[in-house]
Chain A
Amino acid sequence: MAARKSKANTEAYLRMYRQMARIRAFEDNANQLYLSAKMPGLTHMYSGQEAVAVGICEALTSDDKITSTHRGHGHCVAKGAEFRQMFCELLGKAEGYCRGKGGSMHIADQANGNLGANAIVGGSMGIATGSALTAKRQGTGHVTVCFFGDGATAQGVWYEVMNMAALWKLPIIYACENNGYSEYTKTAEIAAGSLTARAEAFGIDSFTVDGQDVLAVNDLAQTLVARCRKGEGPFFVELETYRYHGHHVGDINRDYYRTKDEEADWKKHRDPIVNFGKWLIGQKIVTPDELVSMDNEVRADAEAAVQYALEAPYPDVREVDMHVFAEGA
C-alpha cells in the first residue's frame, strides 16, 4: 500500500473502499444472474480490477469523460452510476441506462461523463481521443480517460490516435488495465517488447503502477489529471492487475490458459479490497466492524437493486425502432 499516513483524506479513503466494494457486489450479483439463467446473454466480470477504476475515477469530476470496455461495470460504478439502472440495463429493462438497448457491453451514463462501454476491443480509443479534442478546442478543462485492456494494445487504431494526441497535446490518459490475458490467451505470448515503450515512442510520458493498490493508482491519477488540465497531456499508464473470472461469465473451464493456483494466489495476496481494508484498519481510519457493516450495506443495496430490476418492465415493443436516428437538428 502506498505510504500515506494522513487522516485528512478519510472521506476519500472511505469513498474509495465503498466504491470498490460496490463494484465487487455488483459483479457477484451479475454473475449469479448469469448462473441462474436470469440474465440474457453474457457479461464480463470486473472483479479483481476494482482499484483501477476507483483509483482513477476518484481523481475525476463528473464533467471529466471516460470511455469504457466490454469489461466495463467497474468503470460505470466508479464514475457514479446507480445500481438500479445498471441492473435494469443488464436485464434489458426499460429503466436501464440505455433503455435496455445496449446491455452490459454498451452501458453509457453521459450524465456522469461515461461515454459508454464498447464491445469492439480498442473500439473506444478514437472516441476518447476525440472527446479530448473537444475539450482542448473548446477550452473546457475536462480530462478524458480511455480505459482499455492489454489485449487492446494490439489494435492499430491506438497507435494512430496516440500519435495525434501527442502531436496536439490532448488532455487524455490512456489507462491500460493489464490483467495479463487477451481473452483466452496470455498477453505475454502475443505482445512484443514493452507496452510503455510503445507509448514512449510517441514522446508520451508513461507510467507503470500496481493496479491492486488503490492509493497508488489514485496518487498517480491525481497527478496526471492535474497535468492534463495544465495542457501537459497526453499520458499512458499501465496498471498491473488481474481478472478473477474468465474472459466472460461462461468461461468456466480455463485450465488450458491459466492455472487455479495463479488465480488463488492473486485472490489471497493481492485482492485490492481486502488489502485496502486491512490498511484502513491498520491506520485506525475504520474499525473492522465498520467495514463489515459497510460491506453488508453495499451487498443489501445490490440485492435490492437486482430484485427491483428483475421485477421491472421490459421496454414497450414500440421502442424497437426508436432512436435509430436522432430527431431534429
Chain B
Amino acid sequence: MREITLSRAVNEAIAEEMRRDPAIFLIGEDVAEAGTPFKVLSGLVEEFGTERIIDTPISEPGFMGMAVGAAMTGSRPIVDLMFGDFIFLVMDQLCNQAAKTHYMSGGKLKVPLVLRTNLGATRRSAAQHSQSLHALVAHIPGLKVALPSSAYEAKGLLKTAIRDDNPVVIFEDKLMYNDKAPVPEEEYLLPFGKAEILRQGKDVTLVGTSSMVQVCRKAADLLAADGISAEVIDPRTIVPLDEDTIVGSAKKTSRAIVVDEGHQNFGVTAEIAARIADKAFYYLDNPVQRMGAMDVPVPFSPALEDLTVPTPEQVAERARRLCRGEI
C-alpha cells in the first residue's frame, strides 16, 4: 500500500469530502494561498477557490461563531484553528453555542461542523503553542472529540467527522504532520467510538491517545525485550469512548496504564482510569496508572520541555514496576 504523510491524508480527506458535498466550506486563518503554517491545506484553494477555502482575519471567536450560524442554516463548515492553544479564544462559540444548540432547541436545530486543530509539545514552541487541550472540550456534552494517531486514522476520522451532524473537534498531533503511514487509495471511513487494538498482549494494557500511541507502541517493544507482553489500545475518539474494548482489555491483562499528552490533573487519563477502575476493579492486580503531561505550563527550554511529556522509557518502566507488584 502507498504511504502518505498525515498532512497529505488530512488534505485528501477534505478534498474528497468537498467534491462530494457542495455545502462544505473551510474557514480559518491563512488557509487559502498559505495553506496553513504547516502546509496541510496546500492546493485546496486552487481546486475549490476562495469561495470555499475562506481566509479570515485573525478573529477566532468571530469565524468560529460564524461557522456555528452557517452550520445551523444548511452549510457544513470545517473550521481551521491554527493552534490548539487558541481554543480558549473560541470557547463561548464552541461550548456555549455549538455544543448546546441541538439540545436547547429540543432537537430542532443541528450544528454539523468540524473544528480541526492540533496538540502536542516538544516542538520548542513554549507555553501558548504547545498545549494538548482535548480534555477541556471532551468535558462538554454535545461535542465529539477525535484524536487520530496516524495518517490512516487522520483521514478516516476526518471524513467521518465531516459527515457527522454534530460539532466534532479533531485534534491532530502537529509533530506528526510529516510522518508517513500506509493509507489506501480507495475511500474509507473510520467509525467513532470504536477503539483499535494495535497490539495484542496479556500482561498489561497500555491505553494511549494521539501522540501517545507511538509512545505506547515503543514502550511495548521495550517491554517485549523484557518478556512482558503489553496490549496497546488507541481509542481514536474520546467522545464517544469505546469503554467496552478498554475495560475488556484491562480485565484480560489485569493491569492498565493510561497515557495522554494532556495535563494529568482532571484530564483524559483520569477519566479513562476511573472507568477502568469502575468496571474492571475485581479483575485488576494493581491500581490503574495514569501518565499525562506534567501539570506545568509547557516550558520553552528543551532541557525542561522534554521532562513534561511521557516517554516510551518512562511508560515501560512504569509497566515493569506494575508487573513486579511494586505499585
Contact = CB atoms under 8 A, between A and B. Distances in A.
Contact of A126 (B61, B103, B109): B61
B142 A134 contact: no
Interface stretch (A96-104, A206-214, A259-267, A281-289): A96-104
A123 B106 contact: no
A133 B142 contact: no
A161 B66 contact: yes
B69 A126 contact: yes
Contact of A134 (B70, B104, B110): B70
Interface stretch (B31-39, B161-169, B215-223): B161-169
Contact of A325 (B63, B67, B142): B142
Contacts of B141: 324
A3 interface: no
Interface in A280-303: none
Contacts of B108: 97-98, 108, 110
Contacts of A126: 61-69, 93, 97
A324 B106 CA distance: 9
Given A324-B103, A326-B102, A163 B165 contact: no
Contacts of A167: 57
B107 A323 contact: yes
B92 interface: yes
Interface in B66-104: 66-75, 77, 92-93, 96-97, 101-104
B104 A116 contact: yes
A193 interface: no
A132 B75 CA distance: 11
Contact of B74 (A100, A138, A161, A163): A138
Contacts of B66: 126-127, 129-130, 133, 161, 164
Contacts of A157: 61-62, 65, 92-93
A56 interface: no
A135 B59 CA distance: 21
A134 B73 contact: yes
B192 to A, nearest CB: 10
Contacts of A138: 74-75
Contacts of B92: 120, 123, 157
A101 B69 contact: no
A230 interface: no
B109 A115 contact: yes
Interface string A52-75: 000000000000010100000000
B3 to A, nearest CB: 29
Interface in A118-143: 118, 120, 123-135, 137-138
Nearest to A160: B62
**What is the interface residue range for chain A against chain B?**
35 or more
A130 B70 contact: yes
* Interface-centre pick from B64, B102, B103, B112 (highest chain A CB count, 10 A): B103
A322 interface: yes
Nearest to A67: B69
Contacts of A130: 65-73, 75, 77
A135 B65 contact: no
Interface in B7-33: 25
Contact of B164 (A99, A120, A128, A329): A329
A326 B72 contact: no
A108 B105 contact: yes
Contacts of A132: 69
A322 B56 CA distance: 35
Counting chain A CB atoms within 10 Å of each CB, the highest count among B68, B164, B165 belongs to B68
Contacts of A326: 102, 107, 110, 112, 165-166
A324 B166 CA distance: 9
A106 interface: yes
A133 B75 CA distance: 9
B134 interface: no
A118 B97 CA distance: 9
Nearest to A111: B108
B236 interface: no
B284 to A, nearest CB: 29
Contacts of A133: 66, 69-70, 75
B166 A325 contact: yes
B51 interface: yes
Nearest to B61: A157
B69 A106 contact: no
B63 A164 contact: yes
B239 to A, nearest CB: 9
B295 to A, nearest CB: 30
A126 B109 CA distance: 16
Given A123-B92, A161-B59, 15 more contacts: A67-B69, A102-B105, A123-B96, A126-B97, A127-B68, A129-B65, A130-B67, A130-B75, A131-B73, A134-B75, A144-B69, A160-B62, A164-B57, A322-B107, A325-B102
Interface of B: 25, 51, 56-57, 59, 61-75, 77, 92-93, 96-97, 101-110, 112, 141-142, 144, 163-166
18 contacts: A97-B105, A101-B105, A108-B108, A115-B73, A116-B105, A124-B69, A125-B65, A126-B65, A126-B68, A129-B66, A130-B68, A130-B77, A133-B66, A134-B70, A138-B75, A156-B61, A161-B62, A325-B142
For the complex of A and B, the 9 pairs showing the least CB-CB separation, nearest first, are A126-B65, A130-B69, A160-B62, A99-B106, A127-B69, A130-B66, A160-B59, A98-B106, A130-B70
